[in-house]
Amino acid sequence: MKLLSVRPSLRRRLALAGIAILLIATVTGWLLWSTVPRSTGGRLTLAVLPLKNLTGDEAQDYFSDGLTEEMITQLGNLDPERLGVIAHTSVMHYKNSQASLDQIGRELGVQYVLEGSVRRESDRVRITAQLIQVRDQTHVWAREYDRELKHLLSLQGDIAHEVASEIQLTLGGQKQSELASASSPKTYEAYDLYLRGLYFWNKRTPESLQQAIDYFQQAVVKDPDYARAYAGLADSCALIGGYSGRPAAEFMQKARSAVSRALEIDERLPEAHASLALIVQNYDWDWHTSEKEFRRAIELNPNYATAHQWYAEHLMWQGLFEEALQESERARQLDPLSLIIAADHAVILYCSRQYDQAIDEARKIREMEPNFPRSDVILSAYVEKGLFAEALKEIEKRRSAEVPPYYWAAIAYIYGRAAEHTQAERALEKLLDRNKHEQLDPGLIVWAYLGMGEKEEALAWLEKAYDQHSNSVISIKVDPVYDLVRGDPRFQDLSRRVGLAQ
């Protein structure tokens, strides 16, 4: 993919976004601790609603969305112990929405919302922001900023210094050097590419993850010291194998290099610690290090929903279901409308053999986004309940012109469990033929053989999955699909080698 050129007008809009973030975060941070009534229960919760683009140019929606994202990050880092800020994926559901503040407050579980708008005319820009208490919809605070566009790059540095000083006074005891983030971009071209990568990363499809990798890679070429872009690159490389069916090793070196560079630039970046935790868990089966890194990410930013989400999975793989569900609920509180967090919650329910609850959760996700990949846990839950027709109906919804290998693995598994051997054999043949032309993750073939009751073949391919460090191996302790071989000494030996002895 070619590097995108950035016009001067785009550069000015991005510079403006950075200034607006710092201005609004400063005043709002001061307000939350000086004029807003404190909750006796402890923590306040805030939602930054998508800023309205009043420029009259829909092409600038992208930048108002990016501004919203950065405001959430800035405010979430002010004082995570006392202020919870709802994540970006949840608030974007209210873009162009007519939902009332009462409804938003109920759905997101917040006491306050911050809303505003952006308008640019000629060489000036106007930003409005207001903080509203949901309970009685009173406007606690409102401010309008009117700024010239010239000299924005140098002005941004001055404002950043003032914001750091304001935060230091508000929270107390923190050194300014600790508040200045090494993860901020040095060029607005890199920032733009990072936001595009983040957009595609959130979609969680094989194609979108590849697009995210491309954009994050371009971002770090533009700015080799952009830590958050390196963390995004590491995340995308770590996830794409599991979503595409391609071998994890294909992306492994790039993921390791990216997260290593991110931590070298900014050791205090929560996203980088969560990325490292995911990599050493999924590829190295280093449970001690991944536990430590997940905890470090959450310590650095308790408002980082993805860290809680992945840590919940980490606990689940070890069979700690009660703790996993508690951690998953924490992620859901921070990002109530996130599809991927809801889907992973359904996976925990499935692995803990709460099949009805898992199906209910997956259905809710399907209602919001019928083709969301991770909600396919509903297939396995249906199979465990013997609802084979329902499982087949669900997988057929995912069939497209270019049939993914996952489809044939699922068909073989479902028909195999339903004792429909002819159909299962046909699907397995398609899968194995596909593997001859493009190397697939062995975990897909393991899944097919397990469904068909082919114990010896399943164990042989499971050993190949182990050799290739397939992501599928980390589920062997808890996934019901392995029940067929769970009592076999060879399976127990492999479990021990992975650090997940039964």
* Phi–psi pair at 187, nearest 5 degrees: -130, 145
User: Which tokens go with 318?
Assistant: 């070890």
pLDDT-above-90 percentage for the chain: 49
Would you say how long the chain is, in residues?
Answer: 502
Asked if 32 and 46 count as a contact pair (C-beta separation under 8 A), the reply is yes
Sorted by where each begins, the domain ranges of the chain are 8-180, 184-267
Rounded Cα distance between 238 and 471, Å, is 9
Name the nearest CA neighbour of 102 among 129, 130, 137. Answer: 137
Mean pLDDT calculated for residue range 243-249 = 76
Asked if 359 and 378 count as a contact pair (C-beta separation under 8 A), the reply is yes
User: Which tokens go with 132?
Assistant: 């509203």
Mean pLDDT calculated for residue range 471-487 = 95
CATH architecture of 184-267: Alpha Horseshoe (1.25)
pLDDT at residue 122 greater than cutoff 50: yes
Higher pLDDT: 178 or 325? It is: 325
Rounded Cα distance between 295 and 307, Å, is 8
Asked if 194 and 229 count as a contact pair (C-beta separation under 8 A), the reply is yes
Maximal C-alpha separation, the chain? 74
pLDDT at residue 31 greater than cutoff 50: no
8-180 and 184-267 have identical folds: no
Return the DSSP state at 111.
S
Name the residue with tokens 């990325």: 275
330 band by pLDDT with thresholds 50, 70 and 90: very high
Residue 124's alpha-carbon distances to 16, 51, 433, in angstroms, are 10, 18, 62
pLDDT at residue 311 greater than cutoff 70: yes
Higher pLDDT: 201 or 292? It is: 292
pTM of the model: 0.79
Class of domain 8-180: alpha beta
Taking all residues of the chain, what is their mean pLDDT, rounded to a whole number? Answer: 82
Name the residue with tokens 């703790």: 323
Mean pLDDT calculated for residue range 77-93 = 81
Mean pLDDT calculated for residue range 205-228 = 93
Per-residue pLDDT reduced to its tens digit, 251-282:
888 999 999 999 999 999 999 999 999 999 99
Strands 138-148 and 124-133, bridge-based pairing: antiparallel
Rounded Cα distance between 128 and 136, Å, is 21
pLDDT of residue 172: 46
